[in-house]
Amino acid sequence: MDIIIYGTTEFSYLVAARLHQQHNITILHDGGELSERFNNLDVSIVEGSGSDISVLDNIEARKADLFIACSVLDEANIVACWTVKKIADTETICFISKASLYKNFSSITHNHYQTRYDIDSIIWPEQLLTQDIFRIISVPEALDVEYLAGGKAKLFEYRIKAESTIVDKPIKDCNFPANVLIPGITREGKLFVPSGSTTIRLNDKVFFIGSGAALDVLAADFFKHDRKVKSVSIVGGGAVGFMLAEKLERTGIKVKIIEHNIQRCAFLADSLKKALVLQGNGTDLELLESESIAAADVCVCTTDNDEKNLLCSLLIKQMGTKRIITRVGNIQNYGLFEHVGIDVVVSPKASALTEVLNRVQTHSVDVVALLEGGKGEVLRLTLPKTFKEMRIKELDMPFNAIIGVIVRGYKVIIPNGESLLLPQDRLQIFAMKEDSEAIKNFFFA
Amino acid sequence: MKTPFISSALGIILLAFGGIILLPAAVAVIDHDYRSTTPFLIASCTSFAFGLICRWHGRFCRNFDTMRRTEGLLIVTLTWIVAAAIGAIPYVFFGLNPLDAYFEAVSGFTTTGATILIDFSLYPKSFFFWRSLSQWLGGMGIIVLFVAILPQFGVAGRKIFFAEAPGPTEEKITPRIAHTAKALWLIYLLLTLLEIVCLTAAGMPLFDAVCNSFSTMAAGGFSPHPQSIMGYQSSAITWIVTIFMFLSGANFALQYKLFLRGKSRPLFTNDEFQFYLGIVVVSSLFLSIILYSLQGGTAANSIRDGLFQIVSIITTTGFSSVDFALWTVAAQTTLFAMMYVGACAGSAGGGIKVVRILFAFKFLKREIDQIVHPRAILPIKIDRVTVQDDVQRQMLSFLLFYICLMIGSGLVVTMIEQDALIGFVGTAATIGNIGPGFGEIGPMGTFGNLHPLTKAIFILDMIVGRLELIPFLAMLCPEFWTFSRNDQR
């Protein structure tokens, strides 16, 4: 696949780093310092602007399959996508960082005069992040939540606590409800695919895949799940904080939001209906205590400063919050955050990366979800027509992966070893990132 | 301040007004009561004569584009004072003394509805028609009318338009002010016609239907019947009048959107309207219960009279379906509380206005919340939009001035009349443009027996209340009164 990436931002690097070994990537660099990291990638870097039609002609944009515009400037991204459409009907992905622009392009109601210059997909990382955080908050106790097969199956991540009845038991002795699988466990920062004899330890983070009903039973039996989330504290009233507060408010959850910029506070107070907007610093211990921020069911730290987020999260965690969700800007800090004990680490870049990978993967394989900061992923693939019918246990996979969900027609099956695989079944597979290429080869070779 | 502007603008208004005052004369002609035409013809001639003198003094200036805000305020105030003076001329010819005549005219134009008449049988139909017509003109606002029908004002129309109705928000339904004024008068006219039809259908004589409709839509309260709506002894009429009084107390700009453009959202999602509806429902229920339990009478009558009287007082109309001066103190106090609320902004009614009361409540709630959360940013929102600081300040100072004026006037009148009930209820009823109070000045009583000084104070209260204090307050500033005849600035 020929991919052109316009812009040399950190995100361009992440996409290029992820894809450069399987795809032909050209990066357009329009002035400024070029980060040293790009030189470690097997890509071609061309000087020029994405909105310059001659530059695009030079790099043969007409032959490209995908054009990703993720330079710093929103307007430049939009113009670049339009310019590409003038040359050829290439799929375009445009990155946006302003709410107003995002609304312009994603509005369904204002779509009367659609032209062929329209951008195919608009990605606003912070909006995707908001959706992710919202989904995680909506299930109490779970650390991470992903919806699979259109929500018919779900993936939850739980931390095993000391009072849990399944500590130090092998998985096969745990009596989990039927239709629930454990595709992965993170222990001391390492993700692995367990087998039936793997023992669950204290402080493990365990993934469960299952149908919605079965997971509810699981949650009721093994994790305290009776409390509904009623209140959320948000530190940082940027785009993510604001949108999250708006979404939560609509579902009737009480929201407190701390923001230090007084003008932004005024904006938040104007735009939000019921949320309590507090002016102050997220690391101001007195404020956190007097407004009992940690007493909320979930606390979310979403300022745009990693250090501040971390400090603030640790403060709140130490004050005894039940769940803390922290935003990380720099992907390299992801592991660090997990290491010091933040429950859920989220990143706008990871959210956006999932979205981009969804469009890039070939062979009708795409990534539904990235887990643990990209260490694991849930892949979606459709078995080819030539696939020979067989049982899962007969499938001799040379790697560690778990088929979590089989979608056959309108039916969603949570499989076990005896389940049959038929041609044209759609599978959702939980796998390590490094195995994803092997999985493709295995099923499509 | 430039005198040519003021006298010229006033001249134009007087000339137009001279034409309007011929309408009751026409009624007298239809009634074959030719003698009653004279007072109106004389008033009309006076208006024309003064109009021409003012125009001449103002050098027939036609361009008001450079009008200042202070000039606009003065023109509006003078218009009301002078229009009432011209409107009082016919009353003098029907045998009232000049102060009483002026009181009656001001009470009419400001849609107060307080009357000095004692015996209604002495006067012809054209007299009662003029009383009701003056209310109808004053209800939507004389200035709004002239901005709508006279093209001369142009840009200046905007300034005098908002000087007359200085509600907390400037609301225009159309981009051009003359069109807005026309739209407001259109919906006002249509509702009035509708009420005339309804009342006639319910069995009221046509003449009474016209006069009562004029007074209802204006939230005025003058009725050609000495016993007000009670005199017609009909439940149907009472209910019809209740409905139209309620509408007259709601924002006309929003009603225009509802009735003529078919958009119901702006009215029903309006915070002020919801609050208005809430107050009316809750307090009339409360009043009905009091009436039923303490006053005796059937449940249906208690509900009818409770609702009618609450709507009548809150919209500052002042009609009565029973003599509420005879009710128990609990019921009267409920009504008295309504006197302080008043109608919605942008309606025909007067008073403090529902939106300011709503704001005051939200302001107090914010102060309480701030004690618990000292670091919280708590904006005050009306209609989902934050109220700006300057508007907040303006509304609070309005409330403060209103209270000061109320206490001041109330104390002085109490001293003159030796009666606190007349002093305070009378002041509330006149500043709020409501009309009848309790006791001697109740719905079946009269203001005619009061001391002349009291009448003068009440006249001032009515005009100041109708113009919502701001022009009056501006006039207290000495710099307001610097005049020049110079055309250049």
Q: What is the pLDDT of residues B232-248, one digit of tens each?
A: 888 899 999 999 999 99
Instruction: Return the structure tokens found at A201.
Output: 């330890």
Q: Which residue of A has its CA nearest to B381?
A: A270
pLDDT tens, B306-342? 999 999 999 998 888 888 888 888 888 999 899 888 8
Element containing residue A211 per DSSP (H, E)? strand A205-211
- Closest partner residue to B375 among A266, A270, A279, by Cβ? A279
pLDDT tens, A262-307? 999 999 999 998 899 999 998 888 999 888 888 888 999 999 889 9
> How many of the other CB atoms lie within 10 Å of CB of B235?
14
Give yes or no for A276 touching B (CB within 8 A): yes
Q: Give the mean model confidence (pLDDT) for residues A59-82.
A: 88
Domain boundary among A183, A203, A222: A222
**Does A284 lie in the same domain as A172?**
no
**Residue range(s) defining the domain that contains residue A33:** 2-123
Q: Give the mean model confidence (pLDDT) for residues A227-252.
A: 89
Residue A132 resides in a domain: no
**Does A314 lie in the same domain as A414?**
no
pLDDT tens, A29-65? 887 788 888 888 888 888 888 888 888 888 888 888 8
pLDDT tens, A296-322? 889 999 998 899 999 999 999 889 888
pLDDT at B281: 95
Among the listed ranges B2-6, B108-112, B209-213, which one has the minimum average pLDDT value? B2-6
Give yes or no for A268 touching B (CB within 8 A): yes
Domain boundary among A222, A243, A262: A222
In terms of C-beta density within 10 A (0-12 exposed, 13-18 middle, 19 or more buried), how is residue A10 classed?
Answer: middle
Give A-chain residues touching B383 at CB under 8 angstroms: none
- Closest partner residue to B376 among A262, A270, A276, by Cβ? A276
Domain boundary among A222, A243, A273: A222
In terms of C-beta density within 10 A (0-12 exposed, 13-18 middle, 19 or more buried), how is residue A40 classed?
Answer: exposed
Most B CBs within 10 Å, among A259, A263, A276, A287, to test the B interface: A276
Residue A422 resides in a domain: yes
Among the listed ranges A68-72, A115-119, A245-249, B471-475, which one has the minimum average pLDDT value? A115-119
Please measure the distance between the N-terminal and C-terminal CA atoms of chain B and give it in whole angstroms: 10
Which of the four pLDDT bands, split at 50, 70 and 90, describes residue A384?
confident
pLDDT at B139: 86
How far apart are the C-alpha atoms of A330 and B86, rounded to whole Å? 79
CA angle B458, B462, B465 (to 5 degrees): 130
Amino acid at B159: K
**Does A338 lie in the same domain as A246?**
yes
The more confidently predicted of residues A433 and A5 is A5
Whether residue A277 and residue B376 make contact (CB cut-off 8 A), yes or no, is yes
pLDDT tens, A329-341? 888 888 888 888 8
Whether residue A273 and residue B384 make contact (CB cut-off 8 A), yes or no, is yes
Residue A287 resides in a domain: yes
Give yes or no for A291 touching B (CB within 8 A): yes
pLDDT at B485: 63
Among the listed ranges A6-20, A137-151, B454-468, which one has the minimum average pLDDT value? A137-151
Give A-chain residues touching B379 at CB under 8 angstroms: 266, 269-270
Residue A400 resides in a domain: yes
**Does A14 lie in the same domain as A107?**
yes
**Does A327 lie in the same domain as A306?**
yes
Whether residue B377 and residue A277 make contact (CB cut-off 8 A), yes or no, is yes
Give A-chain residues touching B373 at CB under 8 angstroms: 276, 278, 291
Most B CBs within 10 Å, among A267, A270, A271, A286, to test the B interface: A270
**Does A235 lie in the same domain as A218?**
no
How far apart are the C-alpha atoms of B458 and B480, rounded to whole Å? 24
Helix residue ranges per DSSP H, A74-210: 74-87, 99-106, 125-138
Which of the four pLDDT bands, split at 50, 70 and 90, describes residue A69?
very high
Instruction: Return the structure tokens found at A403.
Output: 């088929």
Residue A129 resides in a domain: no
DSSP string, B109-140: HTT------S-GGGS-HHHHHHHHHHHHHHHH
Whether residue A276 and residue B386 make contact (CB cut-off 8 A), yes or no, is no
Give yes or no for A269 touching B (CB within 8 A): yes
Question: How confident is the prediction for chain A on average, in pLDDT?
Answer: 84
Question: What is the ipTM metric for this complex?
Answer: 0.73
Give Dmax (Cα) for chain A.
Answer: 66
Helix residue ranges per DSSP H, B291-353: 299-314, 329-341
List of residues 6+ apart from B209 with CB closer than 8 A? B195, B196, B199, B200
Which CATH number is A201's domain given?
A: 3.30.70.1450
**Does A97 lie in the same domain as A65?**
yes
Contact pairs from chain A to chain B, CB under 8 Å: 32
Most B CBs within 10 Å, among A291, A292, A293, to test the B interface: A291
pLDDT at B488: 44
Please state, for a pLDDT cut of 90, what percent of chain B lies above it: 37
Residue with tokens 């929103």: A74
> How many of the other CB atoms lie within 10 Å of CB of B258?
17
Q: Among candidates A419, A326, A324, A440, which has minimal Cα distance to A377?
A: A440
The more confidently predicted of residues B378 and A103 is B378
Per-window interface: A 185-244 vs B, CB < 8 A: none
Question: For residue A209, what are the CA distances in angstroms to A153, A156, A377, B256?
Answer: 7, 7, 13, 58
Q: What is the CA radius of gyration of chain B?
A: 22
Which of the four pLDDT bands, split at 50, 70 and 90, describes residue B482?
confident
Whether residue B376 and residue A278 make contact (CB cut-off 8 A), yes or no, is yes
Q: How many domains does chain A have?
A: 4
**Does A200 lie in the same domain as A238?**
no
Q: Give the mean model confidence (pLDDT) for residues B369-383.
A: 89
**Does A116 lie in the same domain as A90?**
yes
Residue A88 resides in a domain: yes
Q: Among candidates A309, A333, A400, A351, which has minimal Cα distance to A136?
A: A351
Instruction: Return the structure tokens found at B423.
Output: 């002093």
Whether residue B381 and residue A280 make contact (CB cut-off 8 A), yes or no, is no
Whether residue B377 and residue A265 make contact (CB cut-off 8 A), yes or no, is yes
Residue A363 resides in a domain: no
**Does A287 lie in the same domain as A197?**
no
Residues in B whose CB is inside 8 Å of some CB of A read 373, 375-379, 381, 384-386
Which of the four pLDDT bands, split at 50, 70 and 90, describes residue A6?
very high
Residue with tokens 């706008």: A348
Is pLDDT above 80 for B187?
Answer: yes
Q: Give the mean model confidence (pLDDT) for residues B396-420.
A: 92
Whether residue B375 and residue A268 make contact (CB cut-off 8 A), yes or no, is no
Amino acid at A247: K
How far apart are the C-alpha atoms of A1 and B350, rounded to whole Å? 74
Give A-chain residues touching B380 at CB under 8 angstroms: none
**Does A240 lie in the same domain as A191?**
no
Residue A366 resides in a domain: no
**Does A238 lie in the same domain as A171?**
no
Least Cα separation, residue B271 to chain A (angstroms): 14
pLDDT at B489: 42
Which CATH number is A344's domain given?
A: 3.40.50.720
